[in-house]
Amino acid sequence: ASMGRTVVELFYDVISPYSWLAFEVLCRYRHIWNIDLRFRPAFLGGIMQQTGNQPPALVPKRGEYLLKDVKRMAKYYQVPVRMAADDFKRIIGTKIPPSLMAMRFITAMDMTNPQYLEPLSREFWMRFWSQNEDISQPENILAVARQAGLSAELSQKALEMISSPAVKDRLKETTAEALKHGAFGMPAIVAHYDGKPHLFFGSDRLELLGSIIGE
């Protein structure tokens, strides 16, 4: 980290639309604020399981509100999140969480070519939350990687790493780290300031984050 820069970690999963909002806003703020932004791909399914949390849409009134809220925030932040009521089924109704393979792929890229982390993560959100497309199948993962500017060779290598213990362990470790900071959902933003970590949940606490780190 550069001298005096506040390290801000963003723990995220591309299944979370609020993580996309936080990601884009923090990407903008890192040019204005004195922060060193670090992307920490983690697994939301693991966090929910470990903390006994439930998807908000399981409460019907909350689900209704969530649709409106995401729409308003997407407009406010100019991020093309398009959310419909049946998106809840796309997420909750599957045996294997739809983002597990994507998050392993992103983790593999973080371990080999971290410079692609930002464009790759953005394209996964784009595909799932803007284009309403699948991100769990190998051919779709490769399409996302191509869109993010990765060579076929790099993508293939990362795809082969998905099932390796090294990648699985790394994703579990990052998820465990988020839990250690007190995360119970996503996005979990951790600012290391004044010698201690400060956890912020969600994409609507960024003014507070700024005020605590003196921005």
Where do the structural domains in the chain lie, given as residue ranges? 6-213
- Using CA atoms, how far residue 105 sits from 113, 158, 161, in Å, is 11, 6, 8
Kindly report the pTM of this predicted structure. 0.94
Can you give the pLDDT at residue 93?
Answer: 58
For each successive 10 residues of the chain (215 residues), what is the average pLDDT?
Answer: 82 96 97 96 93 82 90 96 77 74 97 97 96 94 97 96 97 98 97 96 94 94
**Superfamily assignment of 6-213 in CATH?**
Glutaredoxin (3.40.30.10)
DSSP string, the chain: --TTPEEEEEEE-TT-HHHHHHHHHHHHHTTTSSEEEEEEE--HHHHHHHHT---GGGSHHHHHHHHHHHHHHHHHHT------TTHHHHHHT-SS-TTHHHHHHHHHHHHH-GGGHHHHHHHHHIIIIIS----SSHHHHHHHHHHTT--HHHHHHHHHHTTSHHHHHHHHHHHHHHHHTT--SS-EEEEEETTEEEEEESSS-HHHHHHHTT-
Can you give the pLDDT at residue 84?
Answer: 79
For CA atoms 193, 183, 79, 139, the dihedral sign is positive
Can you give the pLDDT at residue 86?
Answer: 75
Angle at 68 between CA 63 and CA 73, to 5 degrees: 120
* The residue to which tokens 């609020």 are assigned: 18
- What does the alpha-carbon distance between residue 25 and residue 22 come to, in Å, rounded to a whole number? 5
Can you give the pLDDT at residue 2?
Answer: 52
**Active-site residue set:** 16
Can you give the pLDDT at residue 3?
Answer: 60
Can you give the pLDDT at residue 1?
Answer: 46
Closest CA to 128 of 144, 142, 117: 144
Contacts of 188 (CB under 8 A, 6+ apart): 10, 11, 12, 42, 47, 178, 181, 182, 199, 200, 201
Can you give the pLDDT at residue 189?
Answer: 98
